Amino acid sequence: MTQGELNASLPRLKEAFSRAAPFRHVIIDDFLDPALARTILEEFPRPGEMRQHGGDLAVLKGFQISPRDERYAAKPSLGAMFAFLHSLEWRTWAAELCGEKEPLLCDPDYIGSGLLAAYDDGIHRIHLDRNRHPNGFFYPRLILLLYFNREWRPEYGGALELWDKRIRRATSIEPLFNRCVIFENTGRAYHGISDVHLPAGMARRALNFYYYTPDVPAGERDAFIHDTEFFPRPEERLGYWMKRARSNFPFGLVSALMHQWNPTARLYRSIRRAKRGGNKPEAGNRAELLKTWRQYNNTPIPGPTNESLAK
């Protein structure tokens, strides 16, 4: 889609985003120019060019490569897509989609963003994404997923699953070629991928991209600050909690209290702030980081505009 087409579709997509269940999200098919999407698929990195995604193969088994990797620059199609996703026009559009007044920000280091690949027996269990950038400040407001899977069949698994707040029912979205899914990152945005079962040599290919705001949304300000956290599927719940109880029950209990009981979370954060000597050093660090981030986001990345990606 061109930027003009996206702008024209914004009222409709914004309405769909706001009404979507189990949490706010939108699906945009035919997202990129078909020729560009085909070239990206042809130039998609091979397993040897990617690193293992995650350290615990029981919850995450796949491969990833960052937009900061020098191998992106050598492939013009990936550079074109990256330049568009970084562009002010697109970030302004995405901000309007979720109700933000200022354009969303890209992380200069693109931590967690990049191309993903999963092969037969690949898994990505139900999880919540981190609710702060690793530097401790900015909020990952939106998550964008873009798929590059031709002739995908339901029996391959690999569907994106958006779970309700009790992790009992899921909305399933097939990872079809040139399909984009954008969803809001909140403390109830449980999502994962159904287990991947593919013929030999075939891969599930996707792009994962984060967009940030300098401030935390009002509804998330009292939430416990966490990194990526994994959760059991409904049929796995009993075995999961039995394993947790046997392995590290005291720590698990404290962690659960911090997540579910906000007064405990606030007390925990207050103690951490006191040990660091208050908020003044943090405020200074945040101001410097915000200046760096804004400078980076105000500098165009070389590449075509979205108008040149027209179908």
State the average pLDDT over residues 48-76. 86
Query: What per-residue confidence (pLDDT) applies to 310?
Result: 41
The yes-or-no verdict on residue 282 having pLDDT over 50 is yes
- The model's confidence at residue 3, banded by pLDDT at 50, 70 and 90, is confident
Give the percent of the chain with pLDDT over 70: 83
101-135 per-residue burial string, b: 16 or more CB within 10 A, e: under 16: eebbbbbeebebbbbbbbbbebbbbbbbbbbbbee
- Measured CA to CA, the distance from residue 47 to residue 119 in angstroms comes to 9
Structure pTM?
0.86
The structure tokens listed for 7 are 């702008």
Q: β-pairing, 63-65 with 51-52?
A: antiparallel
Could you report the per-residue pLDDT of 121-134, keeping only the tens digit for each? 999 999 999 999 99
State the average pLDDT over residues 150-177. 96
For CATH 2.60.120.620, the residue range(s) in the chain are 3-231+287-309
State the average pLDDT over residues 72-97. 93
300 vs 203, which has greater pLDDT? 203
State the average pLDDT over residues 234-250. 70
DSSP alpha helices (H): ranges in 230-305?
Answer: 237-260, 262-275, 280-297
- Measured CA to CA, the distance from residue 28 to residue 147 in angstroms comes to 11
Stated as kind and residue range, the H or E segment containing 171 is strand 170-173
The number of beta carbons lying within 10 Å of the beta carbon of residue 70 is: 6
Give CA angle at 79 (107, 77), nearest 5°: 140
- Measured CA to CA, the distance from residue 244 to residue 189 in angstroms comes to 23
How buried is 147 (Cβ within 10 angstroms: 0-12 exposed, 13-18 middle, 19+ buried)? buried
Nearest alpha carbon to residue 224 among 283, 164, 264: 264
- The model's confidence at residue 241, banded by pLDDT at 50, 70 and 90, is low
Nearest alpha carbon to residue 192 among 168, 224, 160: 160
Nearest alpha carbon to residue 224 among 289, 134, 131: 131
- Measured CA to CA, the distance from residue 251 to residue 266 in angstroms comes to 18
Give the domain 3-231+287-309 fold: Jelly Rolls (2.60.120)
The number of beta carbons lying within 10 Å of the beta carbon of residue 249 is: 11
Nearest alpha carbon to residue 99 among 191, 209, 219: 219
Give the percent of the chain with pLDDT over 90: 63
State the average pLDDT over residues 194-221. 93
